[in-house]
Structure 1
């Protein structure tokens, strides 16, 4: 956010991490103002991850208000930054996370940014775990995707790019690792993810010094075009297919109701015989005599 503020193009910032103790940036919308994470744990008897998912579920019920606020502020801000929980399974693979992501992507150009800690990723096993996470997020959201190697001022992430381009270098780094089991697994995963690497956008940045931010903004611009050219047509196609399926389902129900009505018409209910009322032609005396005969009979 500091880079965008320095350029006088401040972003609209939303924090969706309910378990975050301190937010190191000014947030326009903060989930912690709406949902109390520790209170959710206490009220529902949940652990950390369960409380995060439940907090997101509660926030999801009011997310239409968030979308309205984003639309109202669209002309005032250059971009909207949304910070999600670091627990990937709690957001990416939850129903509320999917609803939030799809709601944003259906109304605004949306980009997923996955941040990797460069010093930790120097371990080839940790690096492979990060790439596997990145791959799962990409195929889950199907949105334009950028992998950002942060803390480039501490460790230059050139090693990561070389590992993605050259399997032999990654294999050499694995040989220096101690765990033989993890080496075999990481080696196999590297071969599987080779196609994933070929189209992956990667950027090296430093949030402390601002290094690489221009490259990051350039990658964001490319992803916006990718959103317009790839995601929007795909979304429209999926929406059209869903509408067709809904129409077929409505037609099926209509035909089923019509068929049931035809069956009912083929088996009409048996009408009771008409009531034959006795008509008295004579006067009152004749009526009394007739009634007496009926009682005697």
Structure 2
């Protein structure tokens, strides 16, 4: 399976993909990967278009990937598009799957050769991209809780500074319980990936996001918003808000509008802060895990060699007898 896009097949720039090393990850010229994740209807794909347009207007080179096999059209130019490799409708038909199963299987097929995607992203270009923008499927659980999603995320994170941009529909989150559902989803993504996470409150041209920031900073303000609701769900939201206080303290957030472009400068400032957080916190842990795996592999090889030695000595002794 050839993982490439029409743009890549006509790319005449020099250079080739190289295997990432610890030193390479630390290199400051590595582009920052922005994995854009969000609930269906949060404006994730429109925000992708705005991000690409904003960078283009600023003269900042970027590399764009679309990982949603079911989308009919994308409003931005994708350098790599999963639809060039996997036909979503054919996958549904071939494996007798429904829509979600088709998306998941398409992503699984694409992930089997994701090393080719990494090689294309690493390819030297002039000018060198500063960001790699990655659009994910609208069905959030398909990417965040699947094996293929984990493979793709870890492949990026082991090669480039990588962060998560979690897109929140600010208008829908005006209801306290919906807001809490979004925060729990963000919390689960953070603890599953362990990558820097930025909350992007989208659609601030419709509803300002300051209320959400106040709810995150002050439990009493959030509690007041729930005063009129005496249901079990409201009581649970109050308890969860107390639990998430520490989570909120270290969580970066920014208000943006995919429609008007408001807040995009602040968004990319926070992205840079997340990239620095990756280098300071995530990278040392990654290198630690790599060393642990190398040590385990070395012990396994030594055990096999010892077993082979004993077998050889036993065979030689048996032949003497």
TM range (shorter): 0.7 to 0.9
Aligned partner of 2:269 in structure 1 is: 218
Gaps of 5+ in 2: 1-51
Aligned partner of 2:300 in structure 1 is: 249
| Change in CA separation of 1:21 and 1:175 when aligned onto 2, cut-off 3 Å | farther
* Separation in 2, partners of 1:81, 1:58: 21
1:42 equivalenced with 2:86 (yes/no):
no
- The more displaced of 152-161 and 261-270 is 261-270
| Change in CA separation of 1:138 and 1:75 when aligned onto 2, cut-off 3 Å | farther
Q: Decide which structure has the larger Cα Rg and report it.
A: 1
Q: CA offset at residue 260 of structure 1?
A: 3.3
Question: Counterparts in 2 of 1:39-188, with a 5 A limit?
Answer: 39-72=90-123, 75-76=126-127, 77-177=129-229, 180-188=231-239
Aligned partner of 2:280 in structure 1 is: 229
Q: CA offset at residue 152 of structure 1?
A: 0.7
CA RMSD of aligned residues (A): 1.7
- The more displaced of 40-49 and 117-126 is 40-49
Aligned partner of 1:260 in structure 2 is: 311
SS at match of 2:162: coil
Aligned partner of 1:201 in structure 2 is: 252
Structure 1 ranges of 4+ moved more than 6 A: none
TM-score by length of 2: 0.79
SS at match of 1:102: helix
TM-score by length of 1: 0.85
Indicate the structure whose relative CO is greater, using CA pairs within 8 Å and at least 6 residues apart: 2
* Separation in 1, partners of 2:229, 2:108: 41
SS at match of 2:199: strand
* Separation in 2, partners of 1:196, 1:236: 25
| Change in CA separation of 1:124 and 1:73 when aligned onto 2, cut-off 3 Å | farther
Q: CA offset at residue 124 of structure 1?
A: 1.0
Gaps of 5+ in 1: 271-297
Render the CA deviation track for 1:21-61: whole Å, top value 9, x for unaligned.
22121111111111111211111111222211111111112
Q: CA offset at residue 151 of structure 1?
A: 0.5
SS at match of 1:111: strand
* Separation in 2, partners of 1:196, 1:141: 15
| Change in CA separation of 1:210 and 1:158 when aligned onto 2, cut-off 3 Å | same
Render the CA deviation track for 1:51-90: whole Å, top value 9, x for unaligned.
1111111111222221122122554323110001122221
- The more displaced of 249-258 and 231-240 is 249-258
